Amino acid sequence: MISFEGKTVLITGAASGIGKACAMLMGSAGAALALSDINEEALAKLKAELESAGIRASISYHGLDIADEDACVQTAAAAAAFHGRIDHLIHAAGIYPEALVSDMQAADWQRLMRINLDGTFYICRAVIKYLGEDSSIVNLASVAAHRGSFAHAHYAASKGAVSSFSKSLALELAPKTRVNVVSPGIIETPMTIDLLKQKGQVMLDSTPLRRFGTAQEVAGGIAFLCSPLARFVTGETLHINGGLYIV
Ligand code: NAI
């Protein structure tokens, strides 16, 4: 129902979970795809998977450590050069390590902030000069940003910062570019396998819709925010969490 024909989407964290579901959905809707991830081998497989699923839009892929500022600059430039433009950035790369604050080392904190927060700044800044009219950015926060997360304080702090960074960027990039946040609850992806093994039932019991979300359901919300259906939406957070956290 939503067409992205003639649009180019740069996706970070494209090799897995939510990023991969975005590639499938946006590619099916006609978008040209610039796929990036630290796992370049998985990107090559994804490109083949997309092609065998009949997605005919042009696809490039770029190995990228999101915590590396220069690599973000190079990836944005390479994607813009390959496709001629970048219309949407979907920034889904991130990590979710477990540690109590009392056990957490400064190095754990800094590594997480480099990837989840510094990376957000690097890739958003890197794409700005390539974004045209009616462009958009969608960053991924988390329910953890809003209600905290046991044994993931660094993760929750990074996602709170991604959220407020995105609101500020929405003010700076308007009216040309809209910037929004998607804040998922518990979504079944490789990121949450361990969490669900440990606390799946507790999480299920506290989710009013009584199931976990799928990566495809999050991708649907992201596609909506990139699409013309959301052309008057900026600086907003879309919660996709089955009622786990109701604002
Ligand atoms: P995932 O683990 O399936 O995918 C994350 C991707 O990021 C992987 O392909 C990984 O290789 C890539 N990545 C990790 N470090 C990187 C780095 N330094 N540079 C570039 N790429 C890197 O995770 P999922 O579930 O798809 O998460 C996507 C986003 O959604 C993340 O930002 C996550 O924090 C957020 N989120 C996920 C939730 C969930 O329940 N799955 C809930 C709330 C937020």
* Residue with CA nearest ligand 1 atom 24: 17
Report pLDDT for 103.
98
Reported confidence tier of residue 237, pLDDT bands at 50, 70, 90: very high
The rounded Å distance from CA 152 to ligand 1 centre is: 14
209's CB contacts (< 8 A; 6+ apart) are: 242, 243
Of 211, 210, 128, nearest to 174 by C-alpha is 128
Question: To the nearest whole number, what is the mean pLDDT of the chain?
Answer: 97
Of 206, 164, 195, nearest to 96 by C-alpha is 195
Question: Tens digits of per-residue pLDDT, 172-181?
Answer: 999 999 999 9
Nearest ligand 1 atom to alpha carbon 141:
44
- Position 234 in a domain: yes
The rounded Å distance from CA 95 to ligand 1 centre is: 5
Handedness of CA 210, 212, 217, 218 (dihedral sign): positive
Report pLDDT for 1.
75
Report pLDDT for 154.
98
Question: Would residue 178 be called left, alpha or beta, if left means φ above 0 and alpha means ψ between -120 and 50 degrees?
Answer: beta
What percent of the chain has pLDDT above 70? 100
Report pLDDT for 56.
87
Q: Which domain holds residue 227?
A: 8-240
- Position 1 in a domain: no
Please classify residue 178 by burial: count the beta carbons closer than 10 Å to its beta carbon, then call 0-12 exposed, 13-18 middle and 19+ buried. Answer: buried
pTM over the 0.95 mark? yes
User: Residue 237's beta-bridge partner residues?
Assistant: 181
* Residue with CA nearest ligand 1 atom 23: 191
| 3-class secondary-structure state, position 1 | coil
* Residue with CA nearest ligand 1 atom 43: 142
Report pLDDT for 30.
96
- Position 64 in a domain: yes
Better-predicted residue by pLDDT, 1 or 118: 118
Catalytic residue among 122, 130, 155, 245: 155
Nearest ligand 1 atom to alpha carbon 20:
26
- Position 150 in a domain: yes
Question: Tens digits of per-residue pLDDT, 68-106?
Answer: 999 999 999 999 999 999 999 999 999 999 999 999 999
Our count of domains for the chain comes to 1
DSSP 30: T
- Position 65 in a domain: yes
Mean pLDDT of 205-231: 98
Distance CA 134, CA 24 (A): 22
Question: Tens digits of per-residue pLDDT, 129-169?
Answer: 999 999 999 999 999 999 999 999 999 999 999 999 999 99
Residue 100 sits in a domain whose CATH number is 3.40.50.720
Whether the predicted pLDDT of 27 surpasses 80: yes
Structure tokens at 226: 């990139």
Instruction: Confirm whether 122 is a catalytic residue.
Output: no
- Position 99 in a domain: yes
